[in-house]
């Protein structure tokens, strides 16, 4: 049985034939054909999530773990707008989503009908492609057009890089009709093609690389890539090459500079020239560290190359001179044939500064009281290995960078747009799609803002939520400007005395709490031992002390002691 609306019945058929399997449907009437066509279809796992904003991020988390597009489907009107934050995050983080929106027929748009807005191209600024299916497919030529649109839309979620694609689908009433006649749609195969670096261009790149005494490779947010990791590990052994990574780069090697802020913070004006690169090669998504962005903008390289399979000219450091649509692993594979070592101390000075910074960090941690910084040190040592670790915006992901990367973690964070919306929902979707332990560390505002993530019957017991509650947006006590504003507590920090215990009870989620290091160390084993329900651990930390301790931390890194 399927919907008698041929446009959506055809979509469901090709959806499965193209290898997709998951769709999240939010309740509504106009999207009834989605329910009828997908919910009972063999090969489809259909979930129901009430809140479209949460559903969008849940699908995003699933797609990250599954490595293929997950569909979301909603009714018409403002419901479609609630997908926007998740779509924007998926666009900038390159995560495949197939966004399906039910719509009124064209003649009803702007005619005062309920739940009706202009939905065609509604996501135009942050979507890879937008399509609209024909209303009626009775004509064979129109049917073929619909086949082409569906095939292209699904393929565009994958090539040349993943991302969100929108299909708007108008329906006329009645909406609940069914038929036993299954539609057999045509599958059009698409083969992704890799770009090529021609011989002449390769020679130019190798010449410029080999003449550079100071080469800085910067990895942004990425999925784990063992081949790329292997090639970077080989390059970092060269005297003139430094590799900067972050937790969200998911690249690991003892020779990488994986705690960027710790090192960059120690560089004074007199020695900036020693650390200034001749050549930057950047790849991956967004970089968390504001310090490295500021340093390289003030101390620009002679050349900046960016590697992006999508061909994006991302000029993060305002010095872009060349880009290539190659995959990073392929680029470094081709280049490695002709890269030579150079007489340089560039790698040495970065490595030595990293060693000094780590020692100072560890010494400082021994002398400070209970605070966010000390909590992160304890958590990152205590979270079980082989976990997926989600880092919330905005202070959690920044604190984590101070401790480098752990090879036992797969790091996740919504750093495409870097908003606090949808953090819990993303982690919940990831946990649903992956049997591994999924831990999210979030701040209080991020937790309460996305508490609808718990209004979900699909939550799995491998989801662990660590909520650091310091009574407001703690990051604004660290930022110069808001930290001294008379409006700090009310308008920037949004100071509050909210607690998560009652929310946990409302959604049948286990609840733990801690107020100091002793209680934190005592509760962590029980928190992670629970395996029947999702669990929340709320850690209460002192807001005012957190800011003072972090500012003093960066001062201690600069000291000559």
Please report, rounded to a whole number, the percentage of residues in the chain having pLDDT higher than 70: 95
How far apart CA 269 and CA 300 sit, in angstroms, is 14
Q: Which two tokens stand for residue 555?
A: 């001062």
CATH 2.60.120.580 fits 368-558, yes or no: no
Out of 3.20.20.70, 3.40.640.10, 3.40.50.1220, 3.40.50.970, the CATH code matching 199-353 is: 3.40.50.1220
DSSP reduced 3-state for 304: strand
Average pLDDT over residues 2-27: 97
Reported as a single tens digit per residue, the pLDDT across 19-69 is: 999 999 999 999 999 999 999 999 999 999 999 999 999 999 999 999 999
| Parts of the chain belonging to CATH 3.40.50.1220 | 199-353
What's the full length of the chain, in residues?
A: 561
Q: What is the pLDDT of residues 292-345, one digit of tens each?
A: 999 999 999 999 999 999 888 899 999 999 999 999 999 999 999 999 999 999
Delimiting residues of CATH 3.40.50.970 domain(s) in the chain: 2-174, 368-558
Return the HEC string of 165-194. EEEEEECCCCCCCEECCCCCCCCCCCCCCC
Helix residue ranges per DSSP H, 67-180: 78-81, 84-93, 140-156
CA distance 271 to 294: 15
Return the minimum-mean-pLDDT range out of 210-214, 458-462, 480-484: 480-484
Q: Is 3.40.50.970 the CATH classification of the domain at 2-174?
A: yes
Which among 123, 124, 147, 151 is positioned nearest to 137, based on CA atoms?
Answer: 147
Q: pTM for this structure? A: 0.95
Six token digits for residue 35: 């329910």
State residue 88's pLDDT score. 98
């Amino acid at each position: 049985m399927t919907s008698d609306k041929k446009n959506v019945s055809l979509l469901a058929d090709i959806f499965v034939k193209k290898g997709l399997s998951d769709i999240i449907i939010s309740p509504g009437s106009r999207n009834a054909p989605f329910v009828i066509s997908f919910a009972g279809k063999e090969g489809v796992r259909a979930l129901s999530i009430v809140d479209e904003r949460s559903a969008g991020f849940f699908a995003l988390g699933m797609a990250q773990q599954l490595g293929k597009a997950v569909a979301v489907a909603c009714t018409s009107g403002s419901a479609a707008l609630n997908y926007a934050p998740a779509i924007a995050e998926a666009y900038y983080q390159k995560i495949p989503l197939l966004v399906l929106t039910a719509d009124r027929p064209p003649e009803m748009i702007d005619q005062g009908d309920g739940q009706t807005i202009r939905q065609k191209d509604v996501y135009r600024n942050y979507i890879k492609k937008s399509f609209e299916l024909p209303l009626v497919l009775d004509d064979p030529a129109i049917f073929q057009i619909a086949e082409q649109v569906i095939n292209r839309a699904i393929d565009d979620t994958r090539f040349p890089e993943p991302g969100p694609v929108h299909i708007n689908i108008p329906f006329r009433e009645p909406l609940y009709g069914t038929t036993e006649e299954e539609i057999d749609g045509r599958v059009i195969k698409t083969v992704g093609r890799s770009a090529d670096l021609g011989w002449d261009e390769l020679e130019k790149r190798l010449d410029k690389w080999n003449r550079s005494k100071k080469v800085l490779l910067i990895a942004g947010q990425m999925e784990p890539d063992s081949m790329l990791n292997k090639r970077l590990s080989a390059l970092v052994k060269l005297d003139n090459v430094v590799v900067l990574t972050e937790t969200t780069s998911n690249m690991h090697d003892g020779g990488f500079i994986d705690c960027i802020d710790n090192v960059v913070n120690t560089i004074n004006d007199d020695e900036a020239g020693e650390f200034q690169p001749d050549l930057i090669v950047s790849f991956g998504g967004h970089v968390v560290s504001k310090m490295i962005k500021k340093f390289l903008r003030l101390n620009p390289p002679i050349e900046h190359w960016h590697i992006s399979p999508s061909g994006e000219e991302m000029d993060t450091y305002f010095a872009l001179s060349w880009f290539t649509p190659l995959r990073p692993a392929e680029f470094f594979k081709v280049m490695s044939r002709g890269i030579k070592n150079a007489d340089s101390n560039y790698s040495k000075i970065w490595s030595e500064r990293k060693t000094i910074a780590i020692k100072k960090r560890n010494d400082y941690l021994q002398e400070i009281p209970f605070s966010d910084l000390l909590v992160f040190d304890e958590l990152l040592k205590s979270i079980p290995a082989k976990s997926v670790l989600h880092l919330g915006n905005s202070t959690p992901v920044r604190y984590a960078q101070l401790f480098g990367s752990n090879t036992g973690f797969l790091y996740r964070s919504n750093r495409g747009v870097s908003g606090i919306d949808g953090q819990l929902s993303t982690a919940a979707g990831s946990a649903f799609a992956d049997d591994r332990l999924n831990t999210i560390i979030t701040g209080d505002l991020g937790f309460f803002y996305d508490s609808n993530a718990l209004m979900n019957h699909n939550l799995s017991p491998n989801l662990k939520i660590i909520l650091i509650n310091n009574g407001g947006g703690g990051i604004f006590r660290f930022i110069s400007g808001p930290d001294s504003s008379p409006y700090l507590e009310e308008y920037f920090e949004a100071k509050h005395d909210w607690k998560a215990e009652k929310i946990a009870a409302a959604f049948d989620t286990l609840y733990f709490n801690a107020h100091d290091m002793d209680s934190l160390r005592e509760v962590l084993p029980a928190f992670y031992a629970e395996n029947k329900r999702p669990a929340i651990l709320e850690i209460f930390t002192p807001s005012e002390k957190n800011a003072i301790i972090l500012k003093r931390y960066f001062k201690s890194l600069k000291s000559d002691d």
